[in-house]
């Protein structure tokens, strides 16, 4: 496993997808762009900026549940890339591994201050040279994050429509 860090949340100019960029901490500095939804992008920015709403979001709630259960998130491991989908595990302090969506796992790691690792095989397949990344900064401002948090604090199921 290779240690990475979140370097940015933005928009991939080639696909218009929102992405979280994971960059190798040491070595060649390869970057893996993980496509995420709008809510996950906002959650990642909020975690990076430590912006706390009046109520805990899902990621902080999961962290609080782990803490209440006497557990701590040690690391997030992005272990597989299959059919263009990254697969990750949460690694807890007692050795327990929990399957998780990569976007959620990364946001949880940001809040918990846990390490993030990517398998060398995943980096070899999906990692790109940092000079080739075409991402425009689309970090929402503090006002946008606050407005989203206020929406989540008062949202009801009908606000999200039917699947």
Output the pLDDT for position 32.
93
**What pLDDT digit, counting tens, does each position of 74-117 carry?**
999 999 999 999 999 999 999 999 999 999 999 999 989 999 99
Most confident of 29-33, 59-63, 118-122, 151-155: 118-122
Give me the number of domains the chain comprises: 1
The CATH number of whichever domain residue 139 belongs to comes to 3.10.690.10
Output the pLDDT for position 158.
61
Output the pLDDT for position 138.
46
Cα separation, 66 vs 47, whole angstroms? 17
Expressed as residue numbers, the domain containing 148 is: 2-160
Q: Which residue has the higher pLDDT, 132 or 5?
A: 5
Of the listed ranges 97-101, 113-117, 124-128, 137-141, the least confidently predicted one is: 137-141
Entry pTM: 0.77
Output the pLDDT for position 21.
92
Residue 101 CA from chain centroid, whole number = 9
Residue 143, token pair as written in the block: 């006002």
Percentage of the chain surpassing pLDDT 90?
A: 47
How buried is residue 159: exposed, middle or buried, by Cβ count under 10 Å (0-12/13-18/19+)?
A: exposed
Q: Is the model's pLDDT at 156 over the cut of 80?
A: no
Q: Long-range contact list for 137-143, CB < 8 A, 24+ apart? A: 137/8, 137/10, 138/9, 138/10, 138/11, 138/18, 138/41, 139/8, 139/9, 139/10, 139/45, 140/41, 140/42, 140/45, 142/49, 142/51
């Amino acid at each position: 496993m290779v240690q990475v860090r979140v370097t940015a949340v933005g928009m991939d100019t080639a696909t218009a997808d929102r992405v979280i960029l994971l960059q190798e901490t040491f070595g060649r500095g390869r970057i893996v762009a993980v496509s995420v939804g709008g809510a996950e992008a906002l959650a990642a920015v909020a975690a990076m900026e430590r912006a706390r709403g009046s109520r805990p979001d899902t990621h902080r709630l999961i962290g609080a549940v782990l803490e209440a259960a006497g557990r701590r998130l040690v690391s997030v491991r992005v272990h597989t890339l299959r059919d263009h989908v990254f697969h990750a595990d949460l690694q807890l302090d007692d050795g327990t591994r929990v399957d998780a969506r990569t976007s959620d796992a990364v946001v949880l790691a940001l809040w918990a201050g846990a390490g993030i690792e990517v398998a060398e095989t995943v980096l070899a397949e999906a990692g790109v040279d940092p000079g080739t990344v075409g991402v425009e900064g689309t970090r929402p401002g503090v006002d946008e994050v606050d407005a989203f948090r206020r929406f989540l604090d008062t949202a009801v199921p009908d606000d999200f429509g039917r699947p």
